[in-house]
Structure 1
Amino acid sequence: MRRGKRFLKLYSLMLTMLATLTILAVVLRPVDGWVPLLKQQYTLHFGPQVLNLHPLATPTPTEPVYEIKAQFHGDSGLISGQMNVTVPELRLDGLPLYLYVPMQVYGVKVNGTAVKAQVSEGQVLVPVKKSTAPQTVTLTFRTQLPKAPSRTGYWQGVATASYWYPIVGVERDGEWMKRPATLGFGDPYLMDLGNYRVELTTPGAFKWYSSGVQTGEQKLEDGRKMLTFQAQKVRNFAMVGGAGFAETKYRTEEGMLVTVASVAKADLGRAAALTRSAVKTYTQRIGTNPYPVLSVLELPAGTIYAHELPNLALFAQDLWEYDDPEHWIVHEIAHAWFYNAVGNYEVETPWLDEGLADYAALLDMERREGAGAYQARINDAWKRFANNYTYSPYPYGTSNRVKTGKSAVPYGTYQTSQAHYYYTYQRMVLMYHDLRKLLGDEAFFKFLKQYYLKNAGRTATRADLEKALADIEPKAVGRLKMWLDTPNDELIGNVAGRFQK
């Protein structure tokens, strides 16, 4: 009898606990459910990372030369083309070409001889032996831009062509790296600098903005036109085209031609004012941008939030409706300095370009609005950070989902955008502010300029950032490493005294 009563009590307790847990699961359910959060925690503690790599000290880039002849077929959104890509030297057998968007590839040749390439969803593997002599791959491709508001797509009369052709893979530690997988946010891209000559046949009414300099325009008999572009030392060649852009242009004192264009003419003035301010701030605080062109483009609402491409800064018309749109516009412009001029492998060190671009955006706000506005932004970032709240554009109070993470980790370590923004952007902004206070303005900006000048036109690594800082103040490197490598719960306690008043 006693055993029966004990069993009933235990059974009743278990039912009560189960009911309580069920109620809590419903009441505390995250906006996008429990599955992403559970997956995030499992991956963080038990699962493999997208890239499980030791820090890269010295990249071994190939710097291929691309010659592309393409046609944009108007409202169908189809791009068809032929491509020759020459690799000056091939240190490994086989040549992978990454396919970042769905496309058809056929007619592959190596040095004029047809070969049977292995074509998969994510890449084309060209059978070619390593050689100290240049190797040229020729192929035909067809890329259907989806009629959707995406980074690569055709939406409301605007074509955004990013990663629209096969891109030469990246070598690391004596082997070809696998094309990164995407989680639906961030920049899961991996590519070396390349040199481009692009010929584009397009409907005559379309105006195109690209990663390169337009070198020619020829009208064709059927109402179309043929444009030619050249670009040197860019990570990829991107294009944005449409018939409804209003634009304004100016040339900086250093000679760069800056174009600001918008699908909404009423927004052109404020976008142009932000662009002028940002370009001036970054030139003064960081250094002269070495590229001849920069285009800042406002695209149709819903197209993207904001995104960088080589010599292009893109944002959607509805960005103005979010909190602090000015910050994200000048953030994308800052990528012309960090990601484009000073490159990095985004998938391996996402914190490197994003952190610098986001802190640079604060420097522009400081110049436009004063030191008080800058400090208010830092105070807000600290409040979010200390409470494990993720970064803008998420509302204040949104959890970062991972309370014990670090910043110096590859893309894909965090399975949610909340954690990605927190560790890749927000924590890095506070790191650079902390270093600025430690060094003082004069030494801090020498550090930024040193890093920029020594790494412009190449792929930078964490080691390059540490060296630039060590050249200014060796003792400060320990502070930088603390911000990059310390688990977050421990870091908050370590630095709280420097932010709390």
Structure 2
Amino acid sequence: MHRLTRCAAPLVAAALLAACAADDGATVDRATTSATTEPAAASTGSTTSTTGTTVPSTTAATALAADSCPALPERAAPDPDRPVYEVDMAADPATGVVEGTQVVRFVPDLPVDRVVLRLWANGPRPASVGTSIELGAVAVGGRPAPVGQPDPTTAVVELGRWAPAGEAITVRVPWRLTVGGPVNDRISRQDGSLRLGSFLPLLAWEPGVGWSVDPPTSGFAESTSSPTARWSVSVDVPEGLGVVATGSEVAPGRWEVDAARDVAVSIGRFTVSTATAMAPEPVEVTVAVHDGIDDGAVYVDRIVTALESFASWYGPYPWPAYRLSITPDLSGGIEFPMHVLQGPGTSGRTTPHEVAHMWFYGLVGNVQGRDPWLDEGLATWAEGRIEGTLPDMAVRSLPADGDGRAGAPMTYWEGRSASYYRSVYVQPAAALHRLGDDALVDCALAHYVAENAWSLATPADLWRSLDATFVDWRTALGPAGLAPG
């Protein structure tokens, strides 16, 4: 049971803590490409595509390693030396100008001679409407530091020396973001609203590996890879506007969160619906709908059901709140920890898909440019579990350029957007379903979440969790291109 309330007053401050699914059509990525309607899935048997290959049957002779789910380990804790962001910003939807200053404290676990920041606001999709972010004078440890920009989405701050592993590095970065106009993306401005996701300079560090500099893509934004961090974000907006921002409000206009890998801010004139989910601890659910959009309370029940179901399958929801903001000109959903951005009319399967991303991306991250399937495929699995659509996914035809390539990086999918959804979202979920026991797949995923919480996981981490539950999971996942070669 949950409570439901509605009010018409602006949401002046909402606490939050971050691609994906377009309702009744293709699921879209974190940059939400324009959705193309997917063909109806067959309900039984094998299906042959004129552009692809025959899909295997839904059954697989896969021996189970355990008759029941092995005991779960204690969930991993965030790195005590995780980065710390302190952000002060002012935003005006009327002009599209967002000005900010951030101080980032970073403790690398490997020696470094530079700090790499990703500027996703300069990616191809935002840039197509004139959106851009520029940096001011950057300082390291209080001293000016030279900054190079090998491409529009990458800023390299030179330290001038090698800093050893374990040494704290503090970088001060002033920036100015100009949001050019409406675009089906994480950063957009329309009808007095601002949608801001992955909008400020982000550390691109992969612990144990180094700097992650995957190239941006024109059709998708599955290239972010941010380590879990502590955040303190102050947002100033013109009077009369509401703010939905990552974190819990600790002072007027300032939000903090102890562990999140990215942040999002929504600004507009919102009508609000609220509820409480038990996942299993109380979770405050808020749906904020911008003026002129005929959506609202319809989302609340679906969010509550998804939160409670996924918490029972994959482990407790890790934050005290879940916030959804509905703003114009967005065909699907874009997830951020605790805060999801969706567009009008996306109350269908988009909603549980985005909730699932709180576990598969928010809690357990991955390098999306290298392994986009690792969060999208698992979120689609969870979506299919709660929607009852896994059998249909298992017999869906696959495009020829995607069959067996579910594990391909984003560089492969550049220019193949028509094949991306069925190949990277549906194909992994279908392969997991062919293991033959959905409950034991959930068991393996619960182990994956517990063991890799707050980290940037790799496919090998998932394989280890499958090894604990299934003797020969490679039989089902190998043909999809998701087993070690």
What is the distance in 2 between the residues matched to 1:144 and 1:407?
A: 36
Contact 2:293 2:344 (C-alpha < 8 Å) held by counterparts: no
Q: 1:427 to 1:186 in 2, by over 3 A?
A: farther
In structure 2, the residue matched to 1:271 is 299
Q: 1:450 to 1:232 in 2, by over 3 A?
A: same
Deviation at 1:77, TM superposition (A): 1.4
The answer to whether 1:66 aligns with 2:85 is yes
Secondary structure of 1:448's aligned partner: helix
Give per-residue Cα distances to partners, 1:263-317, cap 9 Å, x unaligned. 36753221111111111111112211112221122222x2342221222222211
In structure 2, the residue matched to 1:307 is 334
Secondary structure of 2:259's aligned partner: strand
Contact 1:287 1:452 (C-alpha < 8 Å) held by counterparts: yes
Q: 1:304 to 1:404 in 2, by over 3 A?
A: closer
Superposed counterparts of 1:235-314, under 5 Å: 235-252=261-278, 253-263=280-290, 266-300=294-328, 302-314=329-341
* Larger Rg computed on CA atoms: 1
In structure 2, the residue matched to 1:113 is 143
Deviation at 1:198, TM superposition (A): 1.0
What is the distance in 2 between the residues matched to 1:123 and 1:470?
A: 38
Deviation at 1:62, TM superposition (A): 7.7
Superposed counterparts of 1:333-482, under 5 Å: 333-365=355-387, 374=388, 377-385=389-397, 388=398, 400=399, 402=401, 404-414=403-413, 415-435=415-435, 437=436, 440-482=437-479
Deviation at 1:401, TM superposition (A): 5.7
> Unpaired segments of 5 or more residues in structure 2?
1-35, 37-78, 122-131
In structure 2, the residue matched to 1:483 is 480
Secondary structure of 1:103's aligned partner: strand
In structure 1, the residue matched to 2:205 is 170
Give per-residue Cα distances to partners, 1:368-394, cap 9 Å, x unaligned. xxxxxx2xx345434432xx3xxxxxx
Contact 1:68 1:198 (C-alpha < 8 Å) held by counterparts: yes
In structure 1, the residue matched to 2:189 is 154
In structure 2, the residue matched to 1:86 is 105
Secondary structure of 1:445's aligned partner: helix
Give per-residue Cα distances to partners, 1:54-100, cap 9 Å, x unaligned. xxxxxx99832111111113411111011111112362211111111
Give per-residue Cα distances to partners, 1:388-412, cap 9 Å, x unaligned. 3xxxxxxxxxxx3626541111112
Question: Larger relative contact order (C-alpha < 8 A, sep ≥ 6)?
Answer: 2
Structure 1 length-normalised TM: 0.72
More strand by share: 2
What is the distance in 1 between the residues matched to 2:339 and 2:305?
A: 16
Moved more, 145-154 or 63-72: 145-154
Q: 1:298 is matched by which residue type in structure 2?
A: I
Q: 1:378 to 1:249 in 2, by over 3 A?
A: closer
Contact 1:281 1:363 (C-alpha < 8 Å) held by counterparts: no
What is the distance in 1 between the residues matched to 2:177 and 2:442?
A: 44
What is the distance in 2 between the residues matched to 1:458 and 1:449?
A: 15
What is the distance in 2 between the residues matched to 1:429 and 1:139?
A: 41
In structure 2, the residue matched to 1:494 is none
Q: 1:64 is matched by which residue type in structure 2?
A: P
Q: 1:466 to 1:210 in 2, by over 3 A?
A: same
What is the distance in 2 between the residues matched to 1:180 and 1:62?
A: 27
Secondary structure of 1:267's aligned partner: coil
Q: 1:138 to 1:237 in 2, by over 3 A?
A: same
Aligned residues: 388
Secondary structure of 2:480's aligned partner: helix
Give per-residue Cα distances to partners, 1:185-219, cap 9 Å, x unaligned. 252222222211111111232221122222221xx
Contact 1:146 1:152 (C-alpha < 8 Å) held by counterparts: no
Moved more, 332-341 or 162-171: 162-171
Q: 1:425 to 1:457 in 2, by over 3 A?
A: same
Structure 2 length-normalised TM: 0.74
What is the distance in 1 between the residues matched to 2:426 and 2:149?
A: 39
In structure 2, the residue matched to 1:34 is none
What is the distance in 2 between the residues matched to 1:71 and 1:284?
A: 40
> Unpaired segments of 5 or more residues in structure 1?
1-30, 32-59, 218-226, 320-324, 366-373, 389-399, 487-501
What is the distance in 2 between the residues matched to 1:250 and 1:274?
A: 12
Give per-residue Cα distances to partners, 1:5-27, cap 9 Å, x unaligned. xxxxxxxxxxxxxxxxxxxxxxx
Secondary structure of 1:231's aligned partner: strand
More helix by share: 1
What is the distance in 2 between the residues matched to 1:186 and 1:166?
A: 15
The answer to whether 1:210 aligns with 2:238 is no
